[in-house]
Structure 1
C-alpha cells in the first residue's frame, strides 16, 4: 500500500473512531451530577431562574444538576472558571446579558467569550422597569419624560454598578430625552432599591422581578418597561418605546458550555432545556416574575449573542462606563 493511501485510510479510521466515541459519550451522558455555574451571588433573580431550570433538568436528564455560585467581577470570575473547565459536559455556565456588555465594559474579562464558550440555549428574556419613588411628581411615563426634559427637578437614578443594565437603561433614556439625570452606582440592585424606597434617589430602571413586590404593594410607582412591548405581568404599564420610539433594552439569560464540548452533548442539552421551558409549571413561574421563556438552538443563540455584543457595546460607549 502506498504511503499516501495508507495515511488517508488511517485518517479516516481516526475520524470515524472519534465520531463514534463522541456519539457514544453523548449517549451515556450524563453519568454523574452536572454542575451549572452561576457567576452571581445567591438570592438574585438569575439565581432563582437557574435553580428552577436545574431542578427540571435533573428530572429530564436523570442526573442531579447542581447550581454553584461563583460571583465576582461582574460575572467574569464564574464565567472564566467555566470556560477553563474540562469540556466533557459536566461543567456548564448560566450567564446573563451582562456577559455581552462585559466584552466592551472590561479591558480583560479573563476569557474570550466567543472562543472559550459555546452557546447552548437561551433560557428567558427579562424586562427592566422604570420605577420611581412615590414622592416624584410625575404620575405617568409622559410626565416623567417631560420632567427630565425640563431639567427643573434634580433627578438621580440608581443602578447595581457602572455598566449594569440599570445604568445602561437609564443612560439610553437620558440620552434620548436630552436630560441631565445623574447616575448613582451601588454595589448591587438591592441597595439601590432600598435607597429608592427611602427617597435618597428618585428612580431605578430595575429588573422587573427585583421590584415586583414593591410595585404590587404600592411602595414604588412603575412608569414603563424597557422591552419593545408591554409585559403581561404589568399590562397597564406602557413600554418606554410608546413615548420614546426606538427605545429598547432587553435582558436575557442562557446556558453556555466550555469550548470543545462534544457537539452531541450540546445538542442533547439544548433539547433538554427547550423541553424544560415547555413545562407549564416552569412557564407559569417565569411569567409570574415577569420573564418570557425562550429555548432556542445553539446556532440561534450564537447568532443572537453576536448581535447582543454589538448592541450592548454601543450602550456602554454611550454611558461612558469602563472597567480596566
Structure 2
C-alpha cells in the first residue's frame, strides 16, 4: 500500500492542478494565427475581432501572421499546436477550398480542428483598372465579349478569395480570361491601379477604400442583396445584372487544435459570441461591407456543418478548372 500511495497522490495533485489551470484559463496571451500576410483583408478582420475579444476573454490577444501556400502553412501550424487554447486560427473560405486545391496538405480540415464559430461574411466586388472604358456593368459585359482572349484577370494567388471569385465568374459568363496570380492582395491591387491587369474580383474589406477614393472602377457586388456601406450602396448585384443565383461570400471562422479541453472551448465560444455583439466591431466591419453572422453558425457544430457544405460546393468548381498546387 505504501508503494502505491505516492503515485496516487501525485496523480491526484496533477489532476487538481490541471483542473485549476482550466478554471483559470486564460493565464497568458492568446495567439490568433492569420494564415496570410499583415494588412490583407483577413488580417483586418482578425485585428478587429481581437480588439472585441480581448475584454470578454480577459486576455491579451496577439495576431501572428503565418502566410504561404494559400493559407495552408498557418493552418498546419495551428493543427499541430498544443491543444491548450493559446493558439487559435482565424481563416476564411480557404478552409473549405484547400482540400481541392492542395494535394499534399498536412492536416485534415474536418478532423484536425475544433470549430468555434463563424464570424462574418464578406461579399466581393467586381472592379477594373481606372482606364477601363466601360462605365456600367452592361458596358463591361459588352467590352468583355468584344475582347475575348485579351482580358487579364488578377488575383491574390492560388486559393485566394479573388481567385475563387474569378473562377466562378468566368465559368458563369462562359468567357475565359488570362488569370494573373500575385503573392497577395497588395501587389494585385497595385497592378490593377497601374493598369497592368484589367479586372479583379476581391473582398469589400480590401476594395471599399479604393472604390470610395475613385481609384478603381466598380461594377457590381456578389452578395444576394445590395450592400448598405456608403461606398457600395449604389452598386448592383451580379444577380440583378442577369447572372441569376450568382453569390460569393468570403466567410471567416475561428478554430482551435483538435483535443482542446471542453471547458476551454466553452470559454472561447462564450467570449466569441460577446465579441460578435460588440457595437464597435459591428461598426468597423459594416463600414467595410462585411456582415456579422448572427444565425446558428456561430455555434461550433453548425459552423462545421457549414464548412463541410462549402467543401462540397467548391470542390467540383476547382476540379473542373484544373488548377491545383502540389
Establish whether TM, by shorter chain, passes 0.5: yes
Residue 22 (structure 1) shift: 8.1
Q: In structure 2, what is the equivalent of residue 298 of structure 1?
A: 300
Secondary structure of the structure 1 residue equivalent to 2:110: helix
SS of 1:115's equivalent in the other structure is coil
Q: 1:236 aligns with which of 226, 234, 237?
A: 234
Return the offset for 1:56. Answer: 2.2
Match of 2:7 in 1: none
Between the aligned partners of 1:249 and 1:230, the Cα distance in structure 2 is 13
**In the TM superposition, what is the alpha-carbon distance from 1:274 to its structure 2 partner?**
1.3
Alpha-carbon offset, residue 158 of structure 1: 0.4
SS class of match (1:241): coil
Aligned to 2:158, the other structure's residue is in SS state coil
Mapped pair 1:249 → 2:216 = no
2:227·2:289 contact (CA, 8 Å) conserved in 1?
Answer: yes
The answer for the alignment partner of 1:196 in structure 2 is: 192
Corresponding position of 1:312: 314
Rounded Cα–Cα distance in structure 2 between residues aligned with 1:23 and 1:288: 42
Corresponding residue for 1:118?
114
Residue 113 of structure 1 aligns to a residue whose secondary structure is coil
Q: Distance in 1 between matches of 2:308 and 2:250?
A: 15
Structure 1 CA distance for aligned equivalents of residues 87 and 210 of structure 2: 36
- Count of residue pairs the alignment pairs up: 308
Residue 98 of structure 1 is aligned with which of 94, 106, 115?
94
Q: What CA distance in whole angstroms lies between the structure 2 residues aligned with 1:218 and 1:168?
A: 25
Deviates more, 1:121-130 or 1:47-56: 47-56
How much has 1:153 moved relative to structure 2?
7.8
Instruction: Name 2:51's counterpart in structure 1.
Output: 55
| Structure 2 residue ranges without an equivalent (≥5) | 1-13
Cα deviation, 1:131-163, whole Å, max 9, x if unaligned, reads 012322322122222332344683211001233
Q: Distance in 2 between matches of 1:43 and 1:168?
A: 20
Tell me if 1:73 matches 2:72: no
* Contact 2:37–2:184, Cα closer than 8 Å, also in 1: no
Using the size of structure 2 for normalisation, the TM-score is: 0.88
Question: In the superposition, relative to structure 1, how do residues 154 and 59 fare at CA in structure 2: closer, same or farther (>3 Å)?
Answer: same
2:239 match: secondary structure = helix
The answer on 1:140 being equivalent to 2:142 is: no
Secondary structure of 1:68's counterpart equals strand
Q: Give the match's secondary structure for 1:114.
A: coil
Structure 1 position 221, deviation (Å):
1.1
Give TM-score, length-normalised by structure 1. Answer: 0.89
Q: Show CA shifts across 1:32-66 (max 9, x none).
A: 22111111111112112212212222211222121
Asked if residue 164 in structure 1 is aligned to residue 160 in structure 2, the reply is: yes
Structure 2 residue matching 1:154: 3-state secondary structure: coil
Contact 2:31/2:86 (<8 A) preserved: yes
Give me the whole-angstrom Cα distance separating, in 1, the residues matched to 2:117 and 2:19.
20
Q: Secondary structure at the residue paired with 1:85?
A: coil
Partner residue in 1 for 2:287? 288
In structure 1, distance between residues paired with 2:50 and 2:247:
30
1:209 Cα shift? 1.8
